[in-house]
Chain A
């Protein structure tokens, strides 16, 4: 509780959807704080409310209870320090790969030459060099996902929110992207909130794992992961943590 004036503090956040048929609570009383430079993983079963929670943090979904504070101030709406990789990809079909990736910079008024250079760098990083002029409908699912990741990197946010960013990647690319995100996180000292439903991925990446319950999402348990990096997925400690978490999860995820 000594970090109340810096970083992100989520307190008792709740989201209830109301519709004609009644109401439905997707997120209930979730609290946690995010340390500066931390790699926080949010792990939860499918359809438990992870995306809804992230959208509230990103400021594109209204919360119905609780508070989200950033640097001591109530966070209402989007904030320039935050960037996001969308689970739904949310690429603009009418923009090329290059135009999609440079979009956050364009919105900020970065001159064309400069933003192209930055975008090209991140396109290369996610392995899409040569596809700059392609439109999203010409790419595979995994390639589209990488465009979304490059776009979020290009925005250069202090807090990077990633909603199951590797969900559509094949195993091989997934491993290399996991290492890549760790490399970027370490090199550029960002803070990351990473959502996944994959326990192994969570233990491999996170400084800390917040395990959510099944719908409505509540914080079931928090696991600090003290393992040094790079982590060995078949080491005894790794497998131990993995088993402990999987024994505690609501559904097979």
Chain B
């Protein structure tokens, strides 16, 4: 078979539109097949749908499904906002300034390998189980990847760019703004993307260990009550929200880093 380039492009476009739909469909199909064979392991679609509707009619702890999602999302977003601003600033600082790297670098290296979930008992002992400790744990978890990627990105700046800056008379602050930070942006975005998934991991863990509201609390409740459909509904919600966030970040990256495609 021979195609002209134009035809091939068109076929590829269609293919790339179909493939994602197809793969999702396959997963759903696989779920359905397994479900039919082993109904004890997985709830069927009707059950899931019923359970989904019942989260609205029978609120859990006075909150419907949107209320629980919002409780988690709010913790994640507040923590991420702080993680991004502080993490990017800190990453730039230790990536750019030798003295700061020497001062804070080793402290950071010490904290960095500790899984954020390990902080949960300590922080609960210190601050109880209110809003602040949860946001704090999520912050710790998402701060670290932002710092790591920002610092790596800052270090990636080529000597040549700095040479251009020096020849044309850039001050040190201008070197940072005009040459170094733009070079690091794609890497910073990679850190931001990672931080989102870290934030979800940590918020779920924190909520599962002690919270009235939040998707993690729903999972724990479903677990304790043997309500598998509720667990699945919660998990699917997390997947969908995560996908939406990733999509928004991708669009944002295209706007902020238009040269990087």
A binding-site residues for B, Cβ under 8 Å: 55, 58-60, 77-78, 80, 82-84, 86, 88, 90, 92-95, 103-104, 106-108, 135, 137, 155
Contacts and interface: CB of A to CB of B under 8 A. Distances in A.
Interface of B: 160-161, 163-171, 174, 178-179, 182-183, 185, 257-260
Contacts of A80: 169
The DSSP consensus for interface residues of chain A is: loop
Given A94-B183, A94-B257, A135-B258, A78 B178 contact: no
A94 B167 contact: no
Contacts of A77: 166
A104 B169 contact: yes
Contacts of B174: 107
A107 B169 contact: yes
A86 B164 contact: yes
Contacts, number: 57
Nearest to B175: A107
A103 B160 contact: no
23 contacts: A58-B167, A60-B167, A77-B166, A78-B166, A78-B167, A78-B168, A86-B160, A86-B163, A86-B164, A88-B160, A90-B160, A90-B163, A92-B161, A92-B178, A94-B185, A94-B257, A94-B260, A95-B259, A104-B168, A107-B169, A107-B174, A107-B178, A155-B168
Nearest to A135: B259
B168 A107 contact: yes
Given A90-B160, A92-B179, A107 B166 contact: no
Contacts of A60: 163, 166-167
Contacts of A104: 168-169
Nearest to A104: B168
Contact of A94 (B160, B163, B166, B259): B259
A91 B164 CA distance: 8
Contacts of A84: 167
A59 B163 CA distance: 9
Contacts of B179: 92
A118 B163 CA distance: 23
Nearest to B174: A107
A83 B163 CA distance: 11
A95 B177 CA distance: 13
Contacts of B259: 93-95, 135, 137
A24 B179 CA distance: 31
A47 B165 CA distance: 25
A77 B182 CA distance: 24
Contact of A59 (B166, B171, B178): B166
B158 to A, nearest CB: 8
A94 B168 contact: no
Contacts of B183: 94
Determine which residue in B163, B167, B185 has the highest number of CB atoms from chain A within 10 A of its CB, and name it.
B167
A152 to B, nearest CB: 9
A84 B164 CA distance: 8
Contacts of B171: 107
A101 B167 CA distance: 14
B205 to A, nearest CB: 37
B178 A103 contact: yes
A157 to B, nearest CB: 9
A118 to B, nearest CB: 14
